[in-house]
Amino acid sequence: MSDSVAPTSTLVDGHDGRFVCVVLHDVAPSTRSACLRTLRAVATVATVPVTLLAVPRFHGDMPGAEFEAWLGQRSAAGDEMALHGWTHRDELPSQGFVDSLRRRHYTRSEGEFWALPETEATRRIDAGIEWFRRNRWPLHGFVAPAWLLGPGARAALDKQRFEWTATLRQLVHLRGSGPAESDTVDSQSVVYSTSSGWRRQLSLVWNTGVAIAERRNRILRIELHPRDADFTDIRRSWQRILARALVDREPVTVSDFMRRARVESAAGAPTTTLWQSTSAD
């Protein structure tokens, strides 16, 4: 991948309160090889922390010891992990044409937490939290698959102690974050769709526009998926966007950014995080 972007070994100072977050979705045993290719493509641009959205039972996957050890190594090296649903599969019936269009075509039946009732959403979230706890991984954020968080799932999430969640266009402080618990941060994601040629071409045009529109935003989110390094034009596109962002933005995990945003929202007062880690004492 040497034809992509010259590596940035030293990040430029003077970011002036501007940040960039690199997020990798759908991290699971069956996607690990593709995830590694994408992470290597990130590293050819610069060494930056990545927020990994881990799915405990992705499409029925059972995570083994080798996969869990790899995640632990990434966490110890400075990456963040967030809980990304339970199976990443939406298997409930749709309700009408618009709902079907959203869930069956646009997100291809991946929006697991859109139609779940609160009790089932709670059960799946609790199971995911337990997976993190058993592995002694810090846990601060939850992102619904396909960013589809329905009312039942949102009610379930509000009863947990997560610090943040995210949608396609916003980062959201949750109840567990203490001060500024109801705040949202506007941030349109740079995100690609690679499942077909026309989607890839549309993504290239769309994300060029998003990167330009978000230049004045204090936070830029580059949200990648496992196969985003497998298509040359797609890879070069997000690598260029990342390289340009690093000229005047500090790379941080989503949790790091959200904590800084809470401090700023509280006028510089220290915040008390209610849930620093799921690790055993």
| pLDDT at residue 79, as a whole number | 98
0.75 surpassed by pTM: yes
- 3-class secondary structure per residue, 17-78: CCEEEEEEEEECHHHHHHHHHHHHHHHCCECCCEEEEECCCHHHCCCCHHHHHHHHHHHHCC
Round to whole Å and give the CA distance between 245 and 215.
8
- Would you report the helix, strand and coil content of the chain in percent, each value rounded to 5? 40, 15, 45
> Helices 151-158 & 118-134, crossing angle to 10 degrees?
50
The dihedral of CA 91, 95, 96, 97: what is its sign?
A: negative
The helix/strand/coil state of 158 is helix
Residue with tokens 């291809």: 108
Contact in structure between 30 and 58 (CB atoms under 8 Å): yes
Q: Which residues make Cβ contacts (< 8 Å) with residue 30, sequence separation at least 6?
A: 58, 59, 61
Q: Which two tokens stand for residue 127?
A: 């199971």
Backbone angles phi, psi at 113, to 5 degrees: -100, 15
Tens digits of residue pLDDT in 163-218: 999 999 999 999 765 544 458 999 999 999 998 999 999 999 999 999 999 999 99
Round to whole Å and give the CA distance between 231 and 44.
16
Q: Which residues make Cβ contacts (< 8 Å) with residue 212, sequence separation at least 6?
A: none
Tens digits of residue pLDDT in 138-159: 999 999 999 999 999 999 999 9
Q: Which residues make Cβ contacts (< 8 Å) with residue 224, sequence separation at least 6?
A: 22, 23, 24, 25, 38, 42, 191, 192, 238
Write out the H or E segment, with its range, that includes residue 164.
strand 164-166
The rounded average pLDDT for each run of 10 residues, N- to C-terminus, in the chain (281 residues) is 42 70 98 98 98 96 95 97 92 58 57 91 98 97 94 94 95 73 85 93 96 96 98 98 97 96 68 34 24
| pLDDT at residue 41, as a whole number | 98
Residue with tokens 């922390």: 49
The helix/strand/coil state of 192 is coil
Nearest CA among 18, 8, 5, 21 for reference residue 223: 21
Contact in structure between 165 and 141 (CB atoms under 8 Å): yes
Write out the H or E segment, with its range, that includes residue 170.
strand 170-173
Backbone angles phi, psi at 112, to 5 degrees: -50, -40
| pLDDT at residue 52, as a whole number | 98
Instruction: Report which DSSP code applies to 229.
Output: G
Round to whole Å and give the CA distance between 142 and 167.
10
Round to whole Å and give the CA distance between 135 and 73.
11
Q: Which fold does the domain 21-265 belong to in CATH?
A: TIM Barrel (3.20.20)
